[in-house]
Structure 1
Amino acid sequence: MVKLRSKKEAGSQTHLVIGGGGYVGFWLGKTLVKNGYHVLLIDLRPPIWTLHKDMEFIQVDITIYSALEEVFKGIDCAYHMASYGMSGREQLNKKLIEAVNVKGTENVIRACIKHNVTRLVYTSTYNVIFGGQTIESGEETLPYLPLDKHPDHYSRTKSIAEQMVLAASGQNTLDGHKLHTCALRLAGVYGPGEQRHQPRIVSYIEKGYYCMTYGTSTKQDFVHVENVAQAHQLAGEALTEINNYKAAGQAYFISDGAPINTFDFYRPLVEGLGYPVPTIQLSITLVYIFAILTEIVHSMIARVYNFQPLLTRTEVYKTGVTHHFSIAKARQELGYCPTIQNDLSSVVQYYINTGHKRTQKQSSIMYWIVNAIIMIIFVCFILSLLPSVK
């Protein structure tokens, strides 16, 4: 166990970022440090970035309460950003998703109560509401998607966890104070150095997998990591007595506030790296069928070969069905104001700086051959299924 620096050394408050080894958690940690807080990051894996002054890291498994609760001593505000199963093959690991997202959240709430932490901000997701249905400018008054309607384990467990956190708001801590909680429902996060979604997308672009689109008339939300950090800090402040605990028990949608088609959003990245934008458009129904069958195959052979699915059902819905939400409540109650909107310029520059710019030496003929082969395989695969689909 690493001992925390004293508050006298580091400042008046110590803030805990659960999941602080990840991209978004570390960015929040940096933002909190800049604003004068001492920050403790905890995660199962250490951050790949250099720790700043007044920032510490402790390796903790949130599914083990005895290890987790120790780090809550002396914490003024906790941000629960840890989760598992958001995308790719992780979405198919039901057991681990349940352990981290549900059991881990139970442990966090329990530790807050034991160690008198009075503020808890939970990082949630659009998926607690969205399950493939069209939503335009949705508000927080929308009901939760019924648990049995969620197309994936991640979304279902995040809904359970969010409801647990909000229900805990107002509970007495061990010394008689009250725990105040709120939830931030995030759109898809992007930013320079993001480690979860962007590397996979760039990999698909470079391998020639990005050769077709679907749902090109639909719109979705995105949120820059800088905006995410701003929203979390504001939410933590809105759980204080000086701000009348105005965020207590509340949920907020957080995005850049500028809905855009997913493939239009990533166009600057594709073109910026020197690759052609796909012109072939497919029916979302066919892509969804392909995703279903991919998941079936994965479930059959994952123990032998845990391959990365090109797309899961949830990813098809997220990228191909219109769903965007209003950030009016976050603006009004938290003072949230996005400083960046759908700007991939720093992301493009990041990948150019790390050697991903396509050069003239790379054969455009080979790129199109790979595209053609993938397209032929996909079409033949779908055509072979049509009789059974009927």
Structure 2
Amino acid sequence: MHQDQSCDMEKTQICTYLITGGSGYFGFRLACSLHGKGAKVILFDMRQPSLDVPEGIVFLKGDICDYVQVEKAVTGVDCVFHTASYGMSGREQLNRTLIEEVNVQGTKHVIRACVEAGVSRLVYTSTFNVVFGGQVIECGDESLPYLPLHLHPDHYSRTKSLAEMAVMKACGAELTNGTGELRTCALRPAGIYGPGEQRHLPRIVGYIEQGIFRFVYGNPRSLVEFVHVDNLVLAHELAADALAPEKQHRSAGQVYFISDGRPVNNFEFFRPLVEGLGYTFPKLRLPVSLIYFVAFLTEMIHHLIGPIYNFQPLLTRTEVYKTGVTHYFSIAKARAELGYEPQVYNLEEVVQWFKSRGHGRKPSGSRLQRLILDAVILSALMALVLSCLPVVGS
């Protein structure tokens, strides 16, 4: 019997999992959950986890862009969770070369290594972005086609599409050692949140504390989705189990949208965080078109001076779309095929996490000073736009 056939978590034989990008927020949380259920877990990443690694979890330093290192990492593994990626947000979105190397070439390395090392299960962490490029989507499902590659507004989304396509195409590939086939599936999560998240939430809190978060934008009725990190962990564990023979490889060749299942306005979602830290939620609302144009100009400026000064853009075009345009998806397929039932969470634990690290409102200026700052920010945005408009009669 192949080792994968007796790796169900409820069975006595211990299953070994490899998590690429295992030092990241989600990858590490997944590792701790699997470890807590008795599995052997290997973290594969270029950097050491920021938190203490529990005894029994193995950290293996390696580069996903180096095939030899990837092949070595997957040897003897039963299932791979491929969570590693690059270029999701901020200035990382503008590093096209590294995005291509990690997201596309790195994924090809993982697939090839699984086939050659006889790993029969591969779960890929994808993204909503493979079908979304700024268009309104209401309760979309997995029947939606991939967004045409040339319509993606950023390199990250385009390369994640290419990577997911490669993972899906690899489903059913014969393993080199003759023990069976590679079974693959992909999960498309919403924006991840939870205490200790280090990519998006600290940036948002930084904007709040610096006084930059003085306005919101878009239609107040626009809806997006988020997923708590522990719900996403649950979805990955269920997807991996459903790839096994005991579950008739139910998830093989399938993609699933994963979220908390509660569409919400992006800015209203973060209201408890803003107010929980003692700040006033902004009342000024600007049109998405204005913010998108400013983001476009910022990206152009970064393209010109980035090699000299790699500054952090306030927002990129993709981030404007993702936060200001309605797009949410049904999780009915994940519920029906995986048994996925997301738990209800809120931002209270996130607020407490930041407070425990010294964040929160400090004494500030008067209401008049705040109004003046709002006016200055708005004037600067308008001046930036007007400076780029053609002069009449020129």
TM-score range, shorter chain: over 0.9
Task: Report the CA distance between 1:184 and its aligned residue.
Answer: 0.1
Letter paired with 1:258: R
CA distance in 2 between partners of 1:75 and 1:193 (Å): 29
CA distance in 2 between partners of 1:221 and 1:110 (Å): 33
Residue in 2 that maps onto 1:77: 79
Task: Report the CA distance between 1:174 and its aligned residue.
Answer: 1.0
Counterparts of residues 264-283 of structure 1 (less than 5 Å): 264-283=268-287
Residue in 1 that maps onto 2:4: none
Aligned residue pair count: 380
3-state SS, counterpart of residue 202 of structure 2: helix
Change over 3 Å in CA distance of 1:364–1:35 after alignment to 2? farther
- Match of residue 57, structure 1, among 37, 56, 59: 59
The CA deviation string for residues 280-301 of structure 1, in whole angstroms up to 9 with x for no partner, is: 1111111111111110000000
> TM-score with structure 1 length normalisation?
0.94
Task: Report the CA distance between 1:29 and its aligned residue.
Answer: 0.4
3-state SS, counterpart of residue 266 of structure 1: helix
- Match of residue 258, structure 1, among 256, 259, 262: 262
3-state SS, counterpart of residue 252 of structure 1: strand
Task: Report the CA distance between 1:251 and its aligned residue.
Answer: 0.2
Residue in 2 that maps onto 1:377: 380
3-state SS, counterpart of residue 113 of structure 2: helix
Letter paired with 1:349: Q
3-state SS, counterpart of residue 80 of structure 2: strand
3-state SS, counterpart of residue 185 of structure 1: strand
Residue in 2 that maps onto 1:4: none
- Match of residue 113, structure 1, among 111, 115, 128: 115
Counterparts of residues 1-390 of structure 1 (less than 5 Å): 12-176=14-178, 177-215=180-218, 216-341=220-345, 343-359=346-362, 361-364=363-366, 369-387=372-390
3-state SS, counterpart of residue 100 of structure 1: helix
CA distance in 2 between partners of 1:281 and 1:60 (Å): 45
Contact 1:219 1:260 in 2 (8 A): yes
Letter paired with 1:331: R
Task: Report the CA distance between 1:369 and its aligned residue.
Answer: 4.8
CA distance in 1 between partners of 2:364 and 2:285 (Å): 25
Letter paired with 2:259: S
Unaligned stretches of 5+ residues in structure 2: 1-6
3-state SS, counterpart of residue 168 of structure 2: helix
CA distance in 2 between partners of 1:36 and 1:26 (Å): 16
CA distance in 1 between partners of 2:350 and 2:13 (Å): 33
Task: Report the CA distance between 1:46 and its aligned residue.
Answer: 1.1
Unaligned stretches of 5+ residues in structure 1: 1-6
CA distance in 1 between partners of 2:150 and 2:386 (Å): 31
> TM-score with structure 2 length normalisation?
0.93
Task: Report the CA distance between 1:146 and its aligned residue.
Answer: 0.5
CA distance in 2 between partners of 1:364 and 1:340 (Å): 38
The CA deviation string for residues 229-288 of structure 1, in whole angstroms up to 9 with x for no partner, is: 000000000000000000000000000000000000000000011111111111111111
- The CA RMSD measured in Å over matched residues stands at 1.7
Contact 1:208 1:368 in 2 (8 A): no
